[in-house]
Structure 1
């Protein structure tokens, strides 16, 4: 199976986008048919070891005449069975269905568990053919064989591949998509003696974690609990109120309060405090233990909306690589956090500020190759027109008072503590004019929701990030980095080993403590994706 890594910032006063005329990034369409075709020639002879049951090539055309809804996979099946000399893949030499066939049938039967609202084509026919397996004539075995293979490709497309790349680009997901050979995976599944339960599925690890929570949330009883604050006042430890009883029941329902025995009391005790803080952490709030309006609004979101959010984020996980190696950075926009990883190990986190809704941070991937200490800020044309030029008309000393100067046909702000980019920026070439950078507006990092920038990503600990990026260069000591950040002279530094950075968008995930997290859909992308899933 081909595996490719395809995963993963403001201004103080005005914004961070600098003027440039770079061309739009090229987008490559990910075609399931193409990857299947590329892999088909490599898989001959690796499936069932039987060589007595065959069907004629003409039966393929006849099959798709009857099963027209699966015609999308006709070329895939033609190439697949040509390499096998039209030998059956789902039957053994005694003419019985293999264990792998039963496994696939089970997965097809439980398709809703995969977080999809799709209807399995020809389900009744498949059920009938499987149930009469022992008494099947050779014609029925052929029909079952071709139906299973077609539905395998259907399953692989929907569950492991997700929406086509041209659809995800419509909702501004511009990161490269994973490339997979579903035929190669089928090869692995069907090898004689292989235990299909141990075959690693081509989905990012978060997918199956969310899948387990989807099952739990669908199994929850109807949620008729609505929380109302007494007198619109927040509830604190030590308070007593009938509302606290409802709060306990809700938190028990959601798994934050561990025992049903803890739901009876109407007093805010230490057990409830632990549950409230856990809920707050899972939803990106300050875990202060005070149940106020923001927490109540989260508590009152209907379970069905939570289920839909889990399903939407399962879809996003279908697009990510299954295996990532080396060091990289990943920014999750709705979480307002930058994560540093080595392989699958989380090294550290850092708060960030991302673009506000009108200046959305773009979802894409790049490679940080340069650090700029004490940078100039080249004022974007839009800000120059809307703010700088009107300011100059009102005040002839506007540029000087803002530490700016004319530069070519534009204006730039000089390096120094006043600079909107702060003391350092981290460059990764891209057509979106986006980068990571420092900021003089430090107080915003204390906010629980941090969408304030013009699109770039402000980092809370720029010096630590610079030290991390330059850790392999012994000439860049902490003292030298500190001095470079305090200088008023711009300095570019090339990174010896450029580091991938992935800017992602997930509003639900399972953290390393095993807790399900939700975040606000700050760019209103969940509904867009949910609508696309319904259409496909």
Structure 2
């Protein structure tokens, strides 16, 4: 029997058992003889167990400690069945299934013989539901503890609100609504299940025994490449042993899905990606699902929002869940102190003809050593005192250290300005923003990790026009009229726009294959290690 079918069959049996297994003890409690004793023991057990959790304690006190799981009522049976059915799908969501030990809990439910047992089970079921709900809604990890570049908090929901929903709504709908409802999460989960099935039936076959191949080549390595591309879904089955036009097109499609220049040549970079095993790709998908849960914000991501996938090197504008604008981007260098952090904030304004106020770290680490030996160094920058006055270069800076240097540095607006002609501000304590750049040649690179942390845009003017369109009849004309003045000008956005800086090495397309990108900062490797330590396992065995 297929592994998924076996799991489903076992889950269905557990769900049926869960719905009715407490009937005997519930009837015992309802019996006239000993009713008061059993009821008192039940309430006392509940009160003892929930005492340390104010939210749960308040919920039960407000309902006089009446159960929501363990009575013989139809409502409680439905809630039990819905919970166990949801738990049976924990592995499908990339959650640590053993954390929610349904079989052990069923055994304890079957052995409950008195009011105290029922009270303890009532709270255990509530704790299990809340734990599972938090894990599925907002992730099993604390993002900020994984890597200091992940500036996120898991968007936890109010436990009392979750419990209240169980008593007022269809429990099946409540359980189904716990997972993120984004199309991306749904497609990631589907891709996960498909890849697990593929791995269980042999994966993608033999790796290609060649460092590179190109159109016109033939031989055993080309046959291996053909077979692997076919197993991945990029090439129709054939008996060709030549790197022909069909294989070239398949390689180009693969390259596009992996962020590689689509030249149709299976060079070393392409071959390394082709030979990456499906188990590694499965890890990336599971990590991406966890990251989607971190972004499962109660308020949503915004009807209109800016989305920057750092490792895809693109910035997008999303309107009503549809991509309406996209441009290439450059992100922070791999050096730890230059990496772009992940966080969400709100874009408030753009600055046309901006000045560049040099970050303190760059001043003391890069420019101060030059100024010590030559006061006229980096002459395109102004040295500015605490009153905002420009300091003359006729003085010596040799006596200053990184700690004692009292000046800031500024580059005025102009064609050589490091920020180009416009920057986009979503004020944050990390001093990260989006901006133009005079270094346009960098956008031709495949891996674009060149900045000190801020995000450079390839088409900043078009990006500005798109942002201004809702508030200006002629956004391009408005922008250009300010640009021509050469004066630094703040332009507020009448409707502020959420900005989400994300890091997804595995992401989907509405139609097409999974996309994968290199883990340039090593963050996803750390997340997978943390998930594995928490009990998440790859389901890769044959059944």
Query: CA offset at residue 336 of structure 1?
Result: 0.9
Match of 1:242 in 2: 220
Length, aligned pairs only: 472
- Secondary structure, in 3 states, of the residue corresponding to 1:530? helix
In structure 2, which of residues 132, 135, 138 is the aligned counterpart of residue 155 of structure 1?
Answer: 132
Aligned positions of 1:121-520 closer than 5 A: 122-128=101-107, 145-163=122-140, 165=142, 167-168=144-145, 171-175=148-152, 177-189=154-166, 191=168, 195-196=172-173, 199-205=176-182, 206-219=184-197, 220=199, 221-223=201-203, 225-229=206-210, 232-236=211-215, 238-257=216-235, 259=236, 261-262=237-238, 264-320=239-295, 321=297, 323-358=300-335, 359-392=338-371, 398-400=377-379, 403-408=380-385, 409-474=407-472, 477-520=475-518
Distance 1:117 1:79, change over 3 A: same
CA-to-aligned-CA distance 1:99-148 (integer Å, 9 cap, x gap): 44223213323422221235235544324357x69x98877766655443
Distance 1:194 1:328, change over 3 A: same
Distance 1:192 1:266, change over 3 A: same
- Establish whether residue 56 from structure 1 lines up as the match of residue 39 from structure 2: yes
**Structure-2 separation of matches of 1:80 and 1:508:** 40
- Secondary structure, in 3 states, of the residue corresponding to 1:328? strand
CA-to-aligned-CA distance 1:191-247 (integer Å, 9 cap, x gap): 576653894234252333222222222222344522232xx44322x4333222211
Larger radius of gyration: 2
**Structure-2 separation of matches of 1:207 and 1:289:** 31
CA-to-aligned-CA distance 1:320-362 (integer Å, 9 cap, x gap): 1263342211111111111101232221211110001110111
Larger RCO of the pair (alpha carbons < 8 Å, separation 6+): 1
- Establish whether residue 120 from structure 1 lines up as the match of residue 99 from structure 2: yes
Query: Any gaps of 5 or more consecutive residues in structure 1?
Result: 1-50
**Structure-2 separation of matches of 1:121 and 1:163:** 13
Match of 2:530 in 1: 532
The answer on whether the counterparts of 2:307 and 2:502 sit within 8 Å (CA) in structure 1 is: yes
Aligned positions of 1:52-131 closer than 5 A: 56=39, 58-59=41-42, 62=45, 77-90=56-69, 98-117=77-96, 119-120=98-99, 122-128=101-107
Query: CA offset at residue 465 of structure 1?
Result: 1.6
**Structure-2 separation of matches of 1:94 and 1:391:** 79
- Secondary structure, in 3 states, of the residue corresponding to 1:119? helix
Q: TM-score, normalised by structure 2?
A: 0.76
Q: Quick check: 374-383 or 428-437, which moved more?
A: 374-383
Query: Any gaps of 5 or more consecutive residues in structure 2?
Result: 1-28, 386-406, 535-543
Q: TM-score, normalised by structure 1?
A: 0.77
Distance 1:63 1:304, change over 3 A: farther
Query: CA offset at residue 173 of structure 1?
Result: 2.4
The answer on whether the counterparts of 2:138 and 2:154 sit within 8 Å (CA) in structure 1 is: no
CA-to-aligned-CA distance 1:500-532 (integer Å, 9 cap, x gap): 211112211222225322111111111222233
CA-to-aligned-CA distance 1:402-453 (integer Å, 9 cap, x gap): x333322233223221111111111221111111111011111122211110
- Secondary structure, in 3 states, of the residue corresponding to 2:188? helix
Q: Quick check: 71-80 or 347-356, which moved more?
A: 71-80
The answer on whether the counterparts of 1:367 and 1:429 sit within 8 Å (CA) in structure 2 is: yes
The answer on whether the counterparts of 1:352 and 1:460 sit within 8 Å (CA) in structure 2 is: yes
Query: CA offset at residue 457 of structure 1?
Result: 0.5
The answer on whether the counterparts of 2:137 and 2:156 sit within 8 Å (CA) in structure 1 is: no
The answer on whether the counterparts of 2:136 and 2:179 sit within 8 Å (CA) in structure 1 is: no
Q: Quick check: 52-61 or 291-300, which moved more?
A: 52-61
Distance 1:420 1:103, change over 3 A: same
Q: CA RMSD in A?
A: 3.5
Distance 1:495 1:193, change over 3 A: closer
- Secondary structure, in 3 states, of the residue corresponding to 1:56? helix
